[in-house]
Amino acid sequence: MKNFADDLARKIAELNNPTVMGLDPRLEYIPEDIRQKWIKDLAPDTELAAACAIYEFNTALIDAVCDIVPAIKPQFAYYEMYGVAGIDTLKKTIAYAKNKGMLVIADAKRNDIGSTATAYAEGIIGETELDDGSRKHMFNADAVTVNGYLGIDGIKPFLDVCARDGKGIFTLVHTSNPSAVDFQDMVLEDGRKVYELMADCVNEWGKELIGEEGFSSVGAVLGATVPEQAVAARKRMPNTFMLVPGYGAQGAGPDAAVASFTKDGKGAIVNASRSLMCAWKKREDLAPSDFARATRDEALDMKAKLNAALKDRKYV
C-alpha cells in the first residue's frame, strides 16, 4: 500500500540526501534579467509577469537538483502574494516537480474545524468532487504542513486522505523562529511543555499510518534552531518523520539540523530555502544567469555537510 513516509524515506536513501529545497520565491531572489524580460513581455500585467518569472526560476532550480534532492517545499504565501497568477504558478510548480520525480511538501500550515479541514485536505493533497461526479486533483501535493491548535478535529480529515491516497502531513511541533519559545516552551501543570504536548498528540495521531520503513506519514515540524527541543521531541515521537526548517539563512548549522534524526540517521528531512534559492548571489565566479548551477553546488555542499554531521552527532 502506498505510504508517503515510505516514499520519502526511500527517496532520501536512494539519493543519500535528507534535503528538501524550499521554494519561497520572493522576486528579489530571481536574477534581474529574468524579471525584466517578463516585465517587458507582459507589462502592464505586472502580476502575471511576476508569476511567470517565478515559474521560470522554479523550474530551472528543479531541473538543476532533481537528481540529487528528493523533494521541494513550496511555501504557499509566496505564491498567494501574486494573486491568482501566483496560485497558478504554484500549481504548475508542483506538477513540474512531481513530473521530474521529486516529492512535494506543500507548506501551507492549514488549520480549521473538521468540515473546513476536509476541504483543505481535498484541495491540497486529495481530490475534489465536482458536479459531473468526477473527482479531480487540484494541487496534488504529496504532503502538507498543518497546525494542530484545534486538536484532532482539524487533523482527522487529513488522516483520512493520507490513508486513502498514501499522502502525508507535517504538524507544527516546535518552529524555528525566535518567539516560538514564548508559546511552545510554556510549561503545563503536568510538567510537559506545550510543544511536548503537541508531540504526544502527533505521535498518537500517526500510529495508524506507519509504513514499512518504520515511519509514520503523520510527521512533525521541528526547527533546526532548537536542537535540544528536537532531541527531546524525537524521544516522544520515535516513528515520526521530521521536517526540519531553520537551516542556513535562519541560522542553524548541520549539527543542529540533524538533532531530530533517529540514531541510525533516518526519519527526517532538512529544509533550506533562501540558502539554496539565493546561492547565486554569493558566487562572484558565476554570472547571475548561472543561478541554477550555484543552487546545485550549494545543494551538494549541504548534502555533504548533513551526511558528515550524521556521522559525528553533536546532539543526541
Q: Which residues are catalytic?
A: 109
Residue partners of 185: CB distance under 8 A and separation at least 6: 193, 194, 195, 229
Looking at residue 141, its amino acid is A
CB of 250 to its own copies, least distance (A): 8
Q: Find the binding residues for its own copies in span 59-88 (CB under 8 A).
A: 75, 77-78, 80-84, 86-88
Pick from 109, 281, 293, 313: which binds its own copies (CB under 8 A)? 109
164 lines the binding site for its own copies (CB under 8 A): no
Q: Note if the bond before 44 is cis, omega within 30 degrees.
A: yes
205 lines the binding site for its own copies (CB under 8 A): no
As a three-state string, the secondary structure of 160-186 is: HHHHHHCCEEEEEEECCCCCHHHHHCC
95 lines the binding site for its own copies (CB under 8 A): no
**For residues 84 and 304, which CB has a smaller minimum distance to its own copies in the complex?**
84
98 lines the binding site for its own copies (CB under 8 A): no
Pick from 5, 9, 20, 49: which binds its own copies (CB under 8 A)? 49
Pick from 61, 102, 104, 122: which binds its own copies (CB under 8 A)? 122
114 lines the binding site for its own copies (CB under 8 A): yes
Distances (CA, A) of 204 to 14, 54, 146, 208, 271: 29, 39, 16, 9, 25
Kindly state the number of chain residues that form the binding site for its own copies, as judged by CB under 8 A: 79
**For residues 132 and 312, which CB has a smaller minimum distance to its own copies in the complex?**
132
286 lines the binding site for its own copies (CB under 8 A): no
Distance CA 245, CA 134 (A): 37
Burial of 17 (0-12, 13-18, 19+ CB in 10 A): buried
Applying CB under 8 A, the span of 191-199, 254-262, 288-296, 303-311 interacting with its own copies comes to: 191-199
List own/partner pairs for 33-42 with CB under 8 A and 24 or more apart: 33/288, 33/289
CB of 213 to its own copies, least distance (A): 29
Pick from 8, 23, 50, 278: which binds its own copies (CB under 8 A)? 50
Distance CA 249, CA 214 (A): 31
Distance CA 136, CA 277 (A): 31
170 lines the binding site for its own copies (CB under 8 A): no
CB of 312 to its own copies, least distance (A): 29
**For residues 194 and 231, which CB has a smaller minimum distance to its own copies in the complex?**
194
Distance CA 10, CA 220 (A): 18
Q: Find the binding residues for its own copies in span 240-279 (CB under 8 A).
A: 245, 250
Pick from 68, 119, 163, 286: which binds its own copies (CB under 8 A)? 119
